[in-house]
Amino acid sequence: MFSGWIWPPPRVLLRLPNRVRTDNFMISSGEDGSRLSLVHADGYQLSIWHLPTTSIDTNDWLLVHDKIHVREACSRLEHVLVMAVDDRLEFVFLWLRSSAVLMHMHLPSRSEKVYNELNVRDGYFLDINPFMMVWPPIFPALREQDSLEE
């Protein structure tokens, strides 16, 4: 019986933009899946690239933001490492290795938040998984048969 899945999944070779010469980047698939986004760090600066998923040529990367200065990294004279990017491309999580500082930048406003008091194992964070949730949270109403008082 054919389930529609191809196993093993086909591999796709994705060419990076010409200016991305290090592995200090993260790719986000985007919330609607219409494009890939790549956030690249070079020294104290970030650049953001988009690639439409409808593109036939993997060289169609479009530079949408260039030379976004990370003020905290500039003031500490440290290069930033890109740790994670959310699907909506609103936040990027950055790591300053020498000072063991995790920070995030809200990309639309360029505001930065620094987290100084974090427990770090061997100077590295193991995993960062950004996610969005509704606030305030909405819980389903209890039914009479679900009552805790009996």
pLDDT tens readout for residues 60-114 = 889 999 999 999 999 999 999 998 898 888 889 998 888 878 898 999 999 999 8
Residue 147 neighbours by CB distance under 10 Å: 8
Question: What's this model's pTM, rounded to 2 decimal places?
Answer: 0.71
What is the rounded CA–CA span in Å between residue 74 and residue 82? Answer: 15
- pLDDT of 21 over the 70 cut: yes
Three-state secondary-structure class, residue 73: helix
Contact 91, 130 (CB under 8 A): yes
Q: Which residue has the higher pLDDT, 88 or 149?
A: 88
In a domain, 112, yes or no: yes
In a domain, 11, yes or no: no
In a domain, 57, yes or no: yes
In a domain, 17, yes or no: no
Which residues form the domain of 97? 25-117+129-146
Cα dihedral sign, 96-97-101-106: positive
pLDDT tens readout for residues 108-134 = 999 999 886 565 555 555 566 666 667
